[in-house]
Each structure stands twice: as structure tokens, then as C-alpha cells.
Amino acid sequence: MRATVMHGAGDVRIETVPDAGLIEPTDALVTITRACICGSDLWPYRTMPQDEAGNRMGHEFIGRVEAVGADVTTVKPGDLVVAPFAYSDGTCVFCHEGLHTSCLHGGFWGRNGVDGGQGEAARIPLADGTLVALPVGEDDALMPSLLTLSDVMGTGHHAAVSAGVEPGKTAAVIGDGAVGLCAVIAARRLGAERIILLGRHPDRIALAREFGATDVVSERGEEAVERVRELTGGLGAHSVLECVGMEESLLTALGIARPGGAVGRVGLPQGQSIPAAMMTFYYNVTVGGGVAPARAYIEELLPDVLEGRIEPGRVFDMTVDLDGVPDGYRAMNDRESIKVMVNP
Ligand SMILES: [Zn+2]
């Protein structure tokens, strides 16, 4: 079969790899019908040292079940399924606590002999715990929004939950990438009265306003902090959703949280430390969040997608086939595209 392999910075290839197939009795075999490229895929795209073996890529996908192992009971051949960006058993102590990304038996796509999502097919470990069957056909118009449940919509929701978004309160979202835009949707969905987006790209800001952003701040650094304070009567935001992961964006997030507020950080950290320890101590600012347990949120978010109350699929603005994946990476890296869908 054919799949995406990254060999180094800027070096993404479509190659013939071993066919996916059942190995364990808990596996499913899935033909991938939709996948996408993630903002987090861009970090290795910029920095990965050259490697002839390469890494299989992709962790967000929808597929059609072709076969299941003897122990699989929740999905069957012919089902259309969505996979979150980590696989998990659904039965261990952490899965029961809703933290599927820490599953004692789980893992991530594209590592340790597990297939990636940007390819023709994938073996799904722990299929019962990982996959969620979708009650629609594989070319349904909702496919882009359903695909976001594998990562970006769940990640935006995790930022909102971690930052304690509640009805009537003020939320600030840092970042106008796909996760930031989904975080705006999530903040509105949880009832935030005011949603301040910190972003600078006109097309993304326009979409954020349609998703529910009420104010936009395009300054950076200390100027952004001052602007948010002006907008909030000098108090700051109750909930700050940090969707970038750079040191500067985290510092801004901590600076605009009001005393007693919370920061939910879901941007993949590019540094090792959390700044502003003294300020957050004296202001009692909670710093929460982390890698999103996307699997935990699929059942909760799915009805809102199926019934059209949220449209996170609007973050996709480019579609490629498998051969177009390298150009999709380039387009996202050059900021020509917010998020690229792969239609293998
Ligand atoms: Zn588990």
C-alpha cells in the first residue's frame, strides 16, 4: 500500500510500505477514506534531521472497517469509523478517568510499527477502545467536521474545559490556527459570553468571528496583554485557551488571565519551562491543560456535529489526494492553508 513518510525537514514522500493487516485479535483493519495534516506535523517538517528510514505520518483519520480480529465487538466490517490521534483500550484506570492519552496500553500512530493516518489503510490496535462508528455514509457532507473530532475539535474543547469556560464568562483564545478556531467554537458552545481572539491573519479572524469570537486582538506580547486588559475593564479574562505552544504565547496567556482565572494550554510546548511563576502565584492563576484526550470527547461532541450546531470542518481550506500530501505540508507551512484534508 502507499503511505506518507517523512525523511527530514521539508522532505515528505509518498512511498510503498508493507500492507496493513490484522496482527492481534483486538485489531481492526481500516481503509482510510479521509485524513488530514496537523499543525503539529509541521514541527518535524521544519526541524527533523535527515533519516533514510523515515517516519510514517498522520494521526487524524476516518476509515471504513475491512476486517476485525476475533476479540473485537464494537465495530464490524463495513462500518465507517473515526479514530482519535491516540489509540487506547478504553478499559484501564486512566481511560476510565477520561485520560485516554495516558492509557496504560495505548500509543500514538506512526510509531513502533503502527501505521500512520496519511496513507491508504491502517491497522488499528485496541479497536474496541479506539474507534467510534459514525452513522453516516463515507461521502456525507459532514465528513470534514467529523474528521476534526480526531484531533483539532477535541483539542480546542480540551483547552476550553481546562480553562474552566462557563456561561457568562470571558474567554480569550490565543492562536488563529485550526485548534484556535476550534477553541473559539468550544468556548461558545460552553457558553462564554465574550470571546477574545488573539490572532493576526484576516481570513482566519473572519472565520473566528463566524464561529463566535466577539473581539479580536492582533497586537503581540506586552501590547496584546494591555489590549486585553483594556477590553476587560483592567481585570483580564476568566479563561485563557492557549493554542500555540510558543514561550511568547504562553507568557501572553498567563499575562491576560485575571486573578483566580485559568489557562488551558493545548499548544505543543516548544520550551521546557512555564514562565511567570511569581505573577501566577500571587494572582492564583491555574495553569492546566495538556495533550487532549480526544477519544474522551468524541461521544459528547458528535451529536453537535451531526445536528449541525457546530461546523468545525470549516477550518479545512484545501484538499489533496495522497500524491498531493507533500504539497499540502508545504501549503500549511507557508501559511497558504489553515488545514489540509487528504482524500486518498
Ligand atoms: Zn486505557
Cα-to-centroid distance, 343 and ligand 1 (Å): 30
Cα-to-centroid distance, 296 and ligand 1 (Å): 11
Q: How far is it, in rounded angstroms, from Cα 28 to Cα 114?
A: 12
Q: Which three cell numbers stand for residue 206?
A: 473572519
Predicted confidence at residue 121, as pLDDT, reads 98
Cα-to-centroid distance, 260 and ligand 1 (Å): 33
Domain range for residue 204? 153-289
Q: How far is CA 18 from the centre of its chain?
A: 28
**Same domain, yes or no: 92 and 31:** yes
Domain harbouring 170, CATH code: 3.40.50.720
**CB-based contacts of 98: which residues, under 8 Å, 6+ apart?**
293, 296
Predicted confidence at residue 128, as pLDDT, reads 98
Angle between helices 202-211 and 178-189 (to 10 degrees): 20
Q: Taking the C-alpha atoms of 153, 155, 157 and 160 in order, what is their torsion angle to the nearest 10 degrees? A: -140
**Same domain, yes or no: 68 and 33:** yes
**Same domain, yes or no: 264 and 236:** yes
Residue 321 CB neighbour total at 10 angstroms: 11
Exposure string of 238-264, with b = 16+ CB inside 10 Å and e = fewer, is bbbbbbbbbeebbbbbbbbbbeebbbb
Q: Which three cell numbers stand for residue 56?
A: 510514517
Cα-to-centroid distance, 88 and ligand 1 (Å): 5
Predicted confidence at residue 270, as pLDDT, reads 84
**Same domain, yes or no: 180 and 283:** yes
**Length of the chain as a residue count:** 344
Predicted confidence at residue 216, as pLDDT, reads 98
Angle between helices 247-256 and 221-231 (to 10 degrees): 20
**Same domain, yes or no: 198 and 239:** yes
**Same domain, yes or no: 276 and 314:** no
Averaged pLDDT, groups of 10, the chain, 344 residues long: 98 98 98 97 96 97 98 98 98 98 98 96 98 97 98 98 98 98 98 98 97 97 97 98 95 97 94 90 96 98 98 98 98 97 96
**Same domain, yes or no: 243 and 143:** no
Cα-to-centroid distance, 105 and ligand 1 (Å): 6
Q: How many domains would you assign to the chain?
A: 2
Q: How far is it, in rounded angstroms, from Cα 190 to Cα 320?
A: 33
